[in-house]
């Protein structure tokens, strides 16, 4: 079901269900991840380009953050890591769910003109390809992405080695990560934060300067006391 909304330049957006948008993008040649990235880019760039049934006052940064934290289910959206200020005054990452999301068709069409300038008529289902084709296409896209990554990795091993960080880079690495992912206050969430940080460190550093998430946390606590971070 579609509706209209006005943005600051008085253009009338045609708001269409998120499900209709993603189906149109995938029919236009975008994979599920590509369709998701387009929707996130549109909604994060202009608040007038979307609305939702619930909640009535969603956080302004609900579309921000890494795309892997955001998932679509029909016309509902979940972001598992929305930065908010808690009642105690400290920042934290929380789960936010948007129900019944609608997105401006025209704004999406600017990103992907192949979907057409106008949305399909309301209450008229779009023709979908034979169901068994979709899994085959997804498998093919995955294989292509895997082969491309493998080719890039084997083509320039020396360049990849140059990009690895060392022990001397730990403090700066922590500062950048804290800017991207603020440290939560709750104990369990903090433990998970250090676990994920260590997993990322194993990819960024050669050799990895710590033996696990616990030793990484001990170093962090000591560095904070010494005001290195």
Mode of pairing for the β-strands spanning 12-17 and 3-6: antiparallel
Asked if residue 132 belongs to a domain, the reply is: no
Is the pLDDT higher at 27 or at 81? 27
What range defines the domain where residue 203 resides?
164-225
Q: In this structure, are residues 210 and 161 in contact, taking their beta carbons and an 8 Å threshold?
A: no
Coarse DSSP helix, strand, coil percentages of the chain, rounded to the nearest 5 percent: 50, 20, 30
Is the domain of 23 the same as that of 112?
A: yes
pLDDT digit string, tens, across residues 18-42: 999 999 999 999 999 999 999 999 9
Kindly state the percentage of the chain with pLDDT values over 70: 82
Is the domain of 23 the same as that of 106?
A: yes
Tokens at residue 201, please? Answer: 């460190």
* Number of Cβ within a 10 Å radius of residue 13: 22
Asked if residue 111 belongs to a domain, the reply is: yes
Cα–Cα distances in Å, from 112 out to 30, 34, 71, 142?
9, 11, 20, 22
pLDDT digit string, tens, across residues 133-148: 556 666 777 777 777 7
Residue position matching structure tokens 């709750």: 186
Q: How far apart, in whole angstroms, are the C-alpha atoms of residue 152 and residue 191?
A: 34
Tokens at residue 156, please? Answer: 């320039």
Is the domain of 69 the same as that of 170?
A: no
Asked if residue 191 belongs to a domain, the reply is: yes
Total structural domains in the chain? Answer: 2
* Number of Cβ within a 10 Å radius of residue 34: 15
Q: In this structure, are residues 106 and 118 in contact, taking their beta carbons and an 8 Å threshold?
A: no
Is the domain of 38 the same as that of 110?
A: yes
């Amino acid at each position: 079901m579609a509706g209209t909304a006005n943005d600051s330049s008085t253009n009338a957006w045609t708001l269409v269900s998120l499900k209709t948008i993603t189906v149109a993008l995938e029919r236009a040649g975008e994979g599920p991840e590509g369709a998701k990235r387009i929707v996130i880019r549109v909604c994060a760039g202009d608040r007038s380009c979307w609305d939702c049934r619930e909640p009535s006052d969603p956080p302004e940064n609900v579309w921000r953050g890494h795309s892997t934290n955001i998932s679509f289910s029909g016309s509902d959206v979940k972001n598992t890591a929305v930065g908010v200020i808690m009642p105690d005054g400290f920042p934290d990452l929380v789960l936010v769910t948007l129900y019944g999301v609608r997105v401006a068709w025209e704004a999406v069409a600017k990103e992907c003109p192949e979907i057409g300038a106008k949305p399909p008529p309301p209450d008229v289902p779009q023709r979908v390809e034979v169901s068994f084709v979709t899994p085959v296409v997804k498998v093919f896209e995955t294989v292509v992405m895997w082969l491309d990554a493998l080719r890039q990795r084997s083509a320039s091993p020396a360049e990849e080695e140059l990009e690895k960080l060392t022990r001397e880079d730990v403090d700066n690495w922590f500062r950048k990560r804290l800017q991207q992912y603020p440290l939560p206050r709750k104990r369990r969430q903090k433990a998970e934060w250090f676990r994920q940080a260590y997993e990322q460190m194993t990819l960024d550093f050669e050799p990895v300067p710590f033996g696990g998430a616990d030793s990484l946390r001990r170093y962090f606590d000591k560095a904070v006391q010494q005001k290195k971070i």
